[in-house]
Homo-oligomer: A and B are copies of this chain.
Amino acid sequence: MRVNEKAATIYDIAKLAGVNPSTVSRALTTPGRINATTEAKVREAAKQLNYRVNPFARALPTGKTKTIAFMVADITNPVFFKLVRGAELAAAEVGYTLVIAESQESSLVESATLERILPSVDGVILGTTRLSDEEISALNQQKPVVLVNRKVDGVSDVVPDNSPGIAEAVKHLADLGHKHIAFVAGPAASWINTDRWNHLMKNAVELGMTIAEISSNEPTLEGGKGAFERVRAAGVTAVVTYNDLMAIGLLREATAAGVTVPTDLSIIGFDNIFGSDFTNPPLSTIEMPLQKIGAEAVETLLKSFVAEDDEPMHGTSEVTSLLMRGSTGKAKA
């Protein structure tokens, strides 16, 4: 039979150390509350019994679970890896456990999973898209929420500051002689999509370029592929896509159609996902500090656990930057 001896409890320690269980609890959780000598005695007994606090027993009276949920739309989306890693590391560092849940891009699954998980966590990091602003606000009433890919009034967030990366990218294209560029848009409802487009437009106009929006596409390889015809029709020499996946789809479709990148067409993606340098040529992209964002999301949550008020917090702008690789080049004359 497995697990012969049950785990030691504070009662075992108390008996061994010859004190009351409450003293053990205090010695272990409230340094200073108990006489140093007694505390040492308790700690010694605890070590001897290989004591591990039972997180459930502790969570019951305190209501604190030391667990954070990270909900993502799709675990296999490479954008989330680094985000999750950053969060996991930051959480582990302070003794918190990270639960990750996937909504599979379904609002039903998203709500159901949240329902199930909510009682057992102290807070939630949301990297999903299906919930409405109202639902998120409502959720935020129950447990602290931090958003990593959108903004909602009254809710904390840690989102990348797209502007520096975009400014760099547009400048880079202008320097290469591009006059007419396009943006292959992602989901219309996406906050990030709108943010990227706005910055892009502003910067392009400022540098005297024209910029066309190739409207709403699936943010996937297919979506990028499907936008190629329209990019070509737009008659531009350079294009920025909503994300790397689309950029790669576009790049491959272009190559297949005999359009050489970057000679005939320059392409810039967003995110610097895993594999974006596997392509030929390797993709130039605007990099997001995703791991940092994940870590900061956890820190923000931690802060809100101890905050007096419910004031939403906003991540110190995480700066993006252009990663120049091989998919951008001089504009075709």
Contact = CB atoms under 8 A, between A and B. Distances in A.
Interface of A: 1-3, 7, 52-57, 59-60, 65, 67, 75-76, 78, 81-82, 84-85, 88-89, 92, 95, 97-102, 104, 113, 115-120, 141-144, 248, 252, 274-276, 278-280, 310
Nearest to A116: B95
Nearest to A144: B2
Given A279-B278, A279-B280, A310-B2, A99 B101 contact: no
Nearest to A252: B278
Contacts of A1: 310
Give the number of copies in the complex: 2
A100 B88 contact: yes
Contact of A75 (B84, B104, B115, B117): B84
A55 B310 contact: no
Contact of A76 (B81, B98, B100): B81
A321 B116 CA distance: 37
10 tightest Cβ-Cβ pairs between the two chains A and B: A275-B275, A280-B280, A278-B278, A56-B59, A75-B85, A55-B120, A56-B56, A76-B81, A278-B279, A275-B278
A82 B88 contact: no
A3 B274 CA distance: 40
Contacts of A116: 92, 95, 97
Given A78-B78, A88-B75, A100-B100, A119 B55 contact: yes
29 contacts: A2-B141, A2-B143, A3-B142, A52-B118, A55-B120, A56-B56, A56-B120, A67-B99, A75-B84, A76-B81, A76-B82, A76-B274, A78-B78, A78-B81, A78-B274, A78-B275, A81-B81, A85-B102, A88-B100, A89-B102, A92-B116, A97-B99, A98-B99, A98-B100, A100-B100, A274-B275, A276-B278, A278-B279, A279-B280
